[in-house]
Chain A
Amino acid sequence: MFNYLIRRLLISAITLVIISMVIFGILKIAPGDPLAGFANNPNVPIEVRAKIRKNMGLDDPIPLQYAKWAREYVRGDWGQSFLSRAPAREIIFNRLPTTLKIVGSAYLISVMIAIPIGVISALRQYSAFDQISTTFAFLGFSLPTFFSGLVLIVIFSFKLDWFPFVYDKTVTGFWPNVKQSILPVTVLALAGSAELTRFVRASMLEVISQDYVRTARAKGLREQSVIVFHAMRNAMIPVVTILALQIPTIFGGAIITEQIFRIPGIGSLLIESINSADAPVVMGISMGIAILVVLFNIIADVIYALLDPRIKLA
């Protein structure tokens, strides 16, 4: 296990280095040299711009530039935002809590919806409940978040006037904050729970027809304890790994949702930065998401091994 972990971490580190090279490389070969930033400002005289380029090392060979960037990045200097002139890391971490709040609550809610519905669906396979929940899961799975967000705004903000449609970070107090988070959280939770419900149902169905579940019933255990302690305990193993793998995905989904509800989080920051070619911030966020993906992949594998004694990591 320990050796496995070390090897996995090593491979992940290499993966992350290559991903950062890919992102850096794309920004380097892109027309207009987006990494040049201030040196691109047309208001600055050409001679001064050339000097800036020289000072920033923009005319060095690309591998050397990458090495310099990587060194600073690891040290915690993510560069200066071209747009606001503030350190990119500071800007990103300022925006992070808002995103975490929305994404975190959406994630919790989607788990709380998906697990009971998926389990009940599997227990009563082909019942009306199962058919309805499977259909809803399928609908939710096919409904893109950019559209469900707009539909919710039209219904709940304009027609019913229950919730605001623009997220205001300056709002204080618990209830107003909950109120303005309900729509974006619903959008994300719907999308997340649809996929999860299908997964929980499938996993539960597989377990429930196994011999040891029949044995548990045969020896006279109460149905409740058969389901909870025998079936669910095993059915949840793959579900937990999917839960870990879903975390980076839900951040990806948040990019779009934040844009719809104008939530000042990481996602909208990413779009703003892309649209204004603010390369340091774009690099910072993309690398952050890449780290999340790689990290949660490891976590998923480790959880799987810890929960399932049949899996031996070597």
Chain B
Amino acid sequence: MVQHVSTAPATTAPGAAALDQLEKAGLKKHRSLWNNAWRQFRHHRLALVGLIVFVSLVLITYVGAMIYPRDKDYIDFMVTSLPPFQSWKYPLGTDTLGRDILARLLWGGRVSIAVGVISATVAITIGTLVGAVAGFFGGAIDSLLMRITDLFISLPTVPLLLMISFLFRDSFYNWFDREFGNGNLGIFVLIVLVIAALAWMPTARLVRASFLSLKEKEFVEAARAVGVNRPSIVLRHILPNSLSPIIVAGTLSVGAAIIGESVLSFLGLGFPSDVPTWGRMLFEAKDFLQLSPHEAMIPGTAIFITVLAINYIGDGLRDALDPRKTQ
């Protein structure tokens, strides 16, 4: 695969343009798939902007939450519902209780993003495992796993998400509080697990399809012929070639997971009020829309921008990792 891609430019673009391109690319320089993908990705301007925005958001929330002087729970009764950009002390204003919105936004942003990234990671890991096993072994295992996948796809996602979170929230909180002294960690684990459990199915289908076609390819046959063992065939020969759809699906599911957590928290079924994720901030703000609309607009915009950035990254990756589009 890697070899194939690196020789592609010479054959696809004829004439002077091709020569020019070859020179630019540097014939001697080895170009890997990832190199190619990155070159392609940079051409997708909005995807690049999305990547910069997302990385900045991660840095700002993590570093900001550490160095920002005011505590997220500090209450200043003297200034409640202060609009943003009015005072240096509270750059983004305060909420109806007089808490610093910027402090809460930074602190909770980390949690929102972490829930998104970790849920997506868990989801694509499950999806890849299921899809790889189903596609590689085929037969009865394949039918069984695909039946299970179909079943999960038919589950009523939103009701289940809300129901499980409501029913098991307290026990997860209490158990983690007792065992690790941190109950909110339990809520975090619960939300990540529920979102991942309801989101792995598309990845499983993609990986299975990709495995089904790849395992019949000549290079896999060649590997088999020279006596490579099964785990190596899967891990070193088939899996790397089906990474593209996994990466794209994984990226897009980060955004979906962030929205999922926000929905839960927005409906009051997610994190408690001492964990001000962006969804939780919206939940607390939604009853004071008339009094202090900024309290809802700020975390809402944060969610929107993050999800938008992730979706653009996913869009760019889809183009960049599509071998048909390689320049």
Contact = CB atoms under 8 A, between A and B. Distances in A.
Interface stretch (A14-22, A50-58, A93-101, A179-187): A14-22
Interface in A156-203: 158, 165
9 contacts: A23-B160, A23-B163, A34-B167, A138-B311, A144-B263, A150-B282, A150-B297, A290-B155, A293-B155
A34 B164 CA distance: 12
Interface hub of A19, A150, A282 (most chain B Cβ within 10 A): A150
Contact of A275 (B158, B166, B282, B300): B166
A144 B282 CA distance: 12
A31 B262 contact: no
B137 interface: no
A136 interface: no
B120 to A, nearest CB: 15
A248 B155 CA distance: 11
A27 to B, nearest CB: 7
A147 B300 contact: yes
Given A30-B168, A31-B170, A256-B267, A144 B304 contact: yes
A209 to B, nearest CB: 14
Given A27-B163, A150-B289, A285-B159, 16 more contacts: A19-B156, A30-B167, A30-B168, A31-B167, A31-B170, A138-B308, A142-B311, A146-B279, A150-B282, A151-B300, A154-B289, A255-B159, A255-B162, A256-B158, A256-B263, A290-B155
Given A255-B158, A290-B155, A144 B259 contact: yes
Top 4 closest pairs, chain A to chain B, by CB:
A30-B167, A147-B300, A289-B156, A142-B308
Contacts of A139: 308
B171 interface: yes
B303 interface: yes
Contacts, number: 121
A16 B282 CA distance: 35
Query: Size class of A's contact patch?
Result: 35 or more
B158 A252 contact: yes
Interface of B: 150-151, 153-160, 162-164, 166-168, 170-171, 255, 259, 262-263, 266-269, 279, 282, 285-286, 289-290, 293, 296-297, 300-301, 303-304, 307-308, 311-312, 315
B166 to A, nearest CB: 5
A259 interface: yes
A313 to B, nearest CB: 17
Contacts of A165: 289
A256 B154 contact: no
A270 interface: yes
Given A154-B296, A294-B154, A142 B307 contact: yes
Contact of A19 (B151, B162, B311): B151
Given A34-B167, A144-B307, A146-B263, A151 B159 contact: no
A27 B167 contact: yes
A146 B282 contact: yes
Given A274-B269, A286-B163, A290-B155, A150 B296 contact: yes
Interface string A63-105: 0000000000000000000000000000000000000000000
Nearest to B165: A274
Interface of A: 15-16, 18-19, 22-23, 26-27, 30-32, 34, 138-139, 141-144, 146-147, 150-151, 153-154, 158, 165, 248, 252, 255-256, 259-260, 270-271, 274-275, 277, 282, 285-287, 289-290, 293-294, 297
A260 B289 CA distance: 11
Contacts of B290: 158
Given A259-B267, A282-B159, A286-B159, A147 B164 contact: no
A19 B154 contact: yes
B286 A290 contact: no
B199 to A, nearest CB: 14
Nearest to B299: A147
Nearest to A31: B171
Nearest to B260: A144
Given A151-B297, A275-B166, A282-B163, A143 B304 contact: yes
B270 to A, nearest CB: 12
B282 A31 contact: no
Which of B153, B163, B168, B293 has the most chain A CB atoms closer than 10 A to its own CB?
Answer: B163
A146 B266 contact: yes
B154 A290 contact: yes
Nearest to A253: B158
A150 B281 CA distance: 13
B289 A271 contact: no
Nearest to B159: A286
Given A26-B167, A30-B167, A147 B158 contact: no
A90 B262 CA distance: 32
A138 B312 contact: yes
B167 A289 contact: no
Contacts of A30: 167-168
Contacts of B303: 144, 147
Nearest to B279: A146
A154 B171 CA distance: 37
